[in-house]
Chains A and B, each alone.
Chain A
């Protein structure tokens, strides 16, 4: 063979199929297929899709990404890719950058937060008059439990108390003074720590672990139930989500052993219709509630933008269906995730006050 064809063989190496040996973990959304039409070619959309599709199906795609992430993480404690950026703390703790953002936040728009708190208070009163219970669930930042693990390079000198964290405490105090029902997950995590010695956040995940979600539902459910005694288990799903999307040869935050909820005895007095409003922490509660078959009818307004009922998903739209759904609820749970203080309530209180 002519030696110049060595070059071609060299360039073709990445096409060798490796999908049986290597694969990418974590959720990705494949771009929608663009049909081959004159218009799609003319605008370049077809070419863009073909190039992306081809790249994702090259044999070495997965190992190449793993290799690059390994280099990034080993060097820099972070991924350089802006998608799914991760901070590696000591002892293989994986953090999301928004956790660090709260930690370093210098300026807080308190009047705007105060207004959101007022609206939540008024919405809670209004719903109460309609016979609907509204509860806020305060979910602490994962970083607050692993702050000692944060590498020095990621810390920023800010005045103590750190303005972002102080504002959260101020918001909590204000919500309590206005008698907004609020469930503080920190108490639950403390209980878990005493019982199992574990922190309620898995090292490789962004979210609370299953036992904590189970306990939150226990506190929301009347009468209470307890998820203890816990049984040994391995982090799965959301408990390992950052690790799952890391895709690195290096075993950062690899699946850890942690306590899982044991068999739960529920004593339901009446079927309950529930709405969860908020971030992916609400999704965790939803998953756990469905597993435990706790509620008769469960809906979630994910970031108050997408309406999901366990079967289908559609945008949240204010109409008669929305009003009927709200009025038919026994319990509405709104999350207050610590790093997302700026979006407290997700605009739900304003809608309730305006539309009901």
Chain B
């Protein structure tokens, strides 16, 4: 069930909110858990038992950590199990494929058996990282074990964030699960934030996706200079407006039920360096890598060369987290190298160069493989030898609505802080905010109704 499905918007969410608001405060966690279980069950019934059982095991382990004399061993075992689950579902096929390829190249006398398709559980990467962070925080004493298993399940499965983030830390939510206030102002702010996210997804991201989807499916010989740039800019806008929209909706729903989730995006395309970009993009993931990988590796306390190695390794892993394919790994390496350049030369690339470099990175990210990425880079540099425009009508590749939406999207980037301020300013006349919400909701619902399939990009991870 997607946040942008009519079923969610007009049935699940109103039903959930009605039940939540009508029940006594002490029942609200139970209502949230029941609806969250239903939400996950609805989307991935075969994986709910896995999440519940592994979650229960992690809960038990977190309590056992405090009592055991082999704390380190238990922690390693717990993390190992989570990584093994993630590896099985997300990376086994990729690595076995690569190994098979290697064996063929080496003309080995044996080959690996062909593995059957493995379905990726909904939000497995997000849930795994939350389980690991919980265990490590408890081990480090940076949080106390959950008092009740149902609290822990609620932390893992709370439906606004369970399948596409943001990635929570237990200590950020623990207190809120125990007690939270429902302030009318926050509820309305959350609602407007949710509607704004819905608009970003359905009115902008889905529209700017149209040209880039079409261009990325063109044959190699059709990818010329202009279309490759249109595709790159279109995708850059799509991925931001899509993914940040999901975070907006998650944060908005959270606010509507009294939670205060941390921001996951802070206007990343206004960053003036790659380092700055990563402080603003998918903040919950970047924080996770810093706290649970970079720092345990020694961070910047282990000498300059090791620090550089640590940074680069973290970005390689981050690339692999995004997808089991080499072009994701190379995308991670690309960002890692850029950050190392900034560190080594003590420079920042500046806003414009950062914007362009991030855009080039998204070409690697969006391509289906390295061959396609190379095709696009050559075309963007004017070296493809293909026609500058295209043999397809421009109107079909870039309809006016998409062009206008791309321009609006680009223009919105520097003004987003003001838009958020407007949405959260209770002093702004309610008529203005309601009119804004009504117009956005109408446009979004029109787009959603007119489409049959509307997945979020980040569901792949």
Residue numbers of A with Cβ under 8 A of B are: 2-5, 7-8, 10-12, 14-15, 41-42, 44, 47, 50-52, 54-55, 58, 60-61, 64-65, 67-69, 71-72, 75-78, 80-81, 83, 87, 97, 100, 104, 106, 151, 153-158
Contact = CB atoms under 8 A, between A and B. Distances in A.
Interface of B: 1, 5-7, 9-11, 13-14, 17-18, 21, 42-46, 182, 184, 187-188, 191, 207, 210, 256, 389-396, 399-402, 404, 437-438, 441-443, 445-452
Give the top 9 A-B pairs by smallest Cβ distance, nearest first: A76-B399, A153-B395, A75-B401, A68-B446, A64-B449, A68-B450, A55-B6, A51-B7, A67-B446
Among A14, A83, A87, A158, which residue has the most Cβ atoms of chain B within 10 A? Answer: A14
Residue of B5, B182, B404, B447 with most partner-chain A CB within 10 A: B447
Given A78-B395, A100-B393, A104-B393, A7 B42 contact: no
A71 B401 CA distance: 8
Contacts of B191: 7, 10
A8 B46 contact: no
Given A14-B6, A51-B5, A104 B256 contact: no
Contacts of B445: 14, 60, 64
A156 B6 contact: no
Given A65-B446, A104-B391, A80 B7 contact: no
Given A11-B10, A41-B45, A54-B6, A65 B449 contact: yes
The A interface, classified by DSSP as helix, strand, loop or mixed, is helix
Given A11-B10, A14-B6, A42-B45, A77 B442 contact: no
A154 B184 contact: no
In the complex, which of the residues A64, A100, A153, A157 has the most CB atoms of chain B within 10 Å of its own CB atom?
A: A64
A81 B207 CA distance: 10
Contacts of A54: 6-7, 11
Contacts of A47: 1, 42-43
B46 A42 contact: yes
Nearest to B210: A80
Contacts of B443: 71
A155 B395 CA distance: 8
B46 to A, nearest CB: 6
A156 B1 contact: no
Nearest to A55: B6
A42 B49 CA distance: 12
A158 B390 CA distance: 10
7 contacts: A4-B184, A11-B17, A51-B6, A65-B449, A75-B401, A100-B396, A154-B396
A100 B447 CA distance: 26
A2 B21 contact: yes
Nearest to A78: B399
Contacts of B451: 81
B450 A65 contact: yes
Name the residue in B46, B187, B188, B401 with the highest tally of chain A Cβ atoms < 10 Å from its Cβ: B401
A123 to B, nearest CB: 33
